[in-house]
Structure 1
Amino acid sequence: MRLMIAHETLYRYDQPIRNLVQSLRLTPSIFEGQKTHDWQIDVSGGLRGPGFRDGAGDWIEGWTVRGPVDQVTVRITGRVDTRDTAGVLRGHREMINPLTYLRDSPATRPDDALRALAASVAGDDPLDRAHRLSGAISDRIAFRPGVTQTGTTAAQALALGEGVCQDHTHALTAIARLSGMPARYVSGYLHSTLDGKAHDAAHAWAEIHVPGLGWVGFDAANRCCPDERYVRLGSGLDAADAAPIRGVAMGSGAEDMDVTVRVEEMAQ
């Protein structure tokens, strides 16, 4: 599938800021399932700094905006050719030991309910167990936008029984780790759901490390593994760790943010 992506994030400040420093994880991953073309990142009034590939294989680059400014726009455009690898992350080069992803983070720290759910999922085969864990989260957390917040934890989402892809992913990584399987949060884009309906184009899913296969993606929000409709950006222990944009603004003003993402299929 050939996908054209346009992603714009607009930051507004009620008082001009003196300076802005950002770390951007906005370049698609390099692996067998996708190939990137004509990828452009632009920060209004920004100065591009050095970039590097971290231990998880994600490309990160720094940008600086010198003020005073009262708004900053981050624009990303480009094309990605994708193919279905059944969720397996083949050909992705990284140096971090998968066992690193057994540790908790504030968003994925388990409570008694998450421990009980993890213990209820049986299966000796690791791949089968990973599928069952993902299905358990799909059954217990209904997809419903607007009921959770950015800071909602896996335990809170499970107790509520509703949430969005971030909540499904946090909960799945939590119970996978409880089952002794390394798991991480992945940020990226999604063209559409399986039924063809429009979906939030900025998306998240989990990857679970399966012996003999490596990292395998599981999208509990859509009850599937990532296929050619998905574009992978980067990963981390949770949503904050895998955030596509992280930054610090110097100033006393309040910040407001608008995000627009479009993922469109192009003719081959």
Structure 2
Amino acid sequence: MLLSIRHETVYHYTAALTYTIQQLRLSPRPDPHQQVRTWEIQTTGRRNAFIDAFGNIGHMLTITGLHDEVRILAGGTVSVDPLDRGRLPGNHILSPLVFTVPTRLTQPDDGIVAFATQHVKAGARSAALLALAEAIRGSVDYRTGATEVTTSAADALRLGQGVCQDHAHLFLSCCHVHGIPARYVSGYIDPGETEHGASHAWVDVWVEEVDFSGWVSIDVTHACFAGDAYCRLAIGRDYDSAAPVRGVRHGGGFESLSVRVDVSPTNS
């Protein structure tokens, strides 16, 4: 599928800033099943490109001098191949054991241990992992604004509400309970007729099956395998290591944020 993507992020401030630094992960990953046809990032300030430890393409954006707005526009077209039951092609640079380490956002507490013990077992195969996604979707209702980017998996499970990143964090945390490698994915999805789309988060989980050993990509929010409607930006241990935009500033007073993401299939 050829996806046309436009992602605009605008920070507004009530007072002038003197300095902004943002870490951007807004370029699609060079994964074997997706090919970038065109892609451009537009910002003010200076951008320096880098590749992080997980193989993500990043840019360090710095803006100096007085400013009261930071506008970031990224977009282009990306061709994504279909996946067989979410199975990702090879090119695994890092050991999957890198993704068995809990983080602040995915650290399991007693509630998650009990939930994971009930809904998944060590060495689980794809069907069982999809069932875990279904259990998470049934326990944490999708509700925009119910949580923050700092909300942990344990907090989301206790609250019983969250968004796609909370679903992903809870899935990772359950996998960590059983030592199953699993990683966070940020990117875009063609929403089609579904309720949740555009900017999105899901997971990759390592499976050992009779006919396949490797990463399987699962959309926890929709309890389905990811496929050619999904464009991958970054992977990491959690949101913090795969966020599209993160940064700090000097000055600025109160901040307001507006984000618009448009994703649609295209023929050109």
TM-score by length of 2: 0.91
Residues 72-221 of structure 1: pairs in structure 2 closer than 5 A: 72-85=70-83, 86-92=85-91, 94=93, 96-122=94-120, 125-192=124-191, 196-197=193-194, 199-211=196-208, 212-221=212-221
Distance 2:38 2:234 in 1: 19
For 2:6, the equivalent position in structure 1 comes to 6
Q: State the secondary structure of the residue aligned to 2:224.
A: coil
C-alpha contact 2:106 2:169 (8 A) present in aligned 1: yes
Q: State the secondary structure of the residue aligned to 1:4.
A: strand
Distance 1:128 1:200 in 2: 23
Deviations 1:15-62 (A, max 9, x none): 11112122211111122321111100011x22222x222231211122
Distance 1:91 1:182 in 2: 16
C-alpha contact 2:8 2:259 (8 A) present in aligned 1: yes
Q: State the secondary structure of the residue aligned to 2:241.
A: coil
CA shift for structure 1 position 135: 2.6
Instruction: State the AA in 2 paired with 1:48.
Output: R
CA shift for structure 1 position 186: 0.8
CA shift for structure 1 position 152: 2.0
Q: Which ranges of structure 2 fall in alignment gaps of 5 or more residues?
A: none
Instruction: State the AA in 1 paired with 2:80.
Output: T
Distance 2:91 2:262 in 1: 25
Distance 1:23 1:122 in 2: 35
Distance 1:116 1:72 in 2: 44
Distance 1:111 1:247 in 2: 29
Deviations 1:132-156 (A, max 9, x none): 3223212322222232232222112
TM-score by length of 1: 0.91
CA shift for structure 1 position 67: 1.7
Instruction: State the AA in 2 paired with 1:140.
Output: S
CA 1:126–1:65: 2 relative to 1, 3 Å: same
Q: State the secondary structure of the residue aligned to 1:113.
A: helix
Deviations 1:225-260 (A, max 9, x none): 111111100011211221111222122523221111
Would you say how many aligned residue pairs link Structure 1 and Structure 2? 263
Q: State the secondary structure of the residue aligned to 1:110.
A: coil
For 1:261, the equivalent position in structure 2 comes to 261
Deviations 1:88-130 (A, max 9, x none): 2214453x32212111111111111110111123555533443
C-alpha contact 2:130 2:223 (8 A) present in aligned 1: no
Distance 1:261 1:241 in 2: 21
Distance 1:143 1:59 in 2: 29
CA shift for structure 1 position 164: 1.2
Deviating above 6 A after TM superposition, structure 1's stretches of 4 or more consecutive aligned residues are: none
1:63 aligns with 2:61: yes
Deviations 1:161-181 (A, max 9, x none): 222111111100000111110
C-alpha contact 2:3 2:264 (8 A) present in aligned 1: yes
Distance 1:68 1:108 in 2: 38
Q: Report the identity percentage.
A: 36
C-alpha contact 1:17 1:70 (8 A) present in aligned 2: yes
C-alpha contact 1:41 1:77 (8 A) present in aligned 2: yes
Farther off after superposition, 123-132 or 235-244:
123-132
